[in-house]
Amino acid sequence: MTLKTALSLAASGLAALSLAAAGAAAAKSPKQPEAAAAKPKKQCFWTNQVNSFASSDDRIVNVRVGVKDIYQFEMFGRCNDVDWSNQIALVSRGGSYICSGLDAEIISPSPIGPQRCPVRNIHKLTPEEVKVLPKHARP
């Protein structure tokens, strides 16, 4: 086998592999919109739209945004006395728009000074989830 023949076979092999890969990608493309539809849409809000909050324990804070939306904030750890507090501060990291837990931090007053409580997860509650909240946990 000559060098020219070997290079020709290698080139045709690469061409066949690239066509097979393109065919596999084309075969997968109809499923990609389904995967994108299954992925939950981010639900973001501006911090200046927050009206009130309520908490029934030291790990969960429910926040009313606008007139009807309620978001549930789950803390990384305990946020002492947030369930007894009359006021909190909601701080957005990097702007005033919150889309995920990493974007937010709650500052709660305590007897030894303000405590910073990093948020792990934010979830917009459905109307059904709001109905099952205890009365003292609804903002």
Nearest one of 68, 52, 67 to 131, comparing CA atoms: 68
Query: pLDDT at position 84, please?
Result: 85
Residue 85 has pLDDT above 80, yes or no: yes
pLDDT score for 21: 44
Mean predicted confidence (pLDDT) in 14-29: 45
Nearest to 51 by CA among 109, 80, 90: 90
pLDDT above 70 covers a percentage of the chain that reads: 70
Phi and psi dihedrals of 52, rounded to 5?
A: -160, 175
The residues near 102 (Cβ < 8 Å, ≥ 6 apart) are: 93, 119
CA distances from 76 to 21, 106, 120, 137 (A): 43, 11, 5, 19
Give 5-68 as a DSSP string.
Answer: HHHHHHHHHHHHHHHHHHHHHHHHGGGHHHHHHHSPPP--EEGGGEEEEE-SSSSEEEEEETTT
Mean pLDDT of 54-72: 93
pTM: 0.69
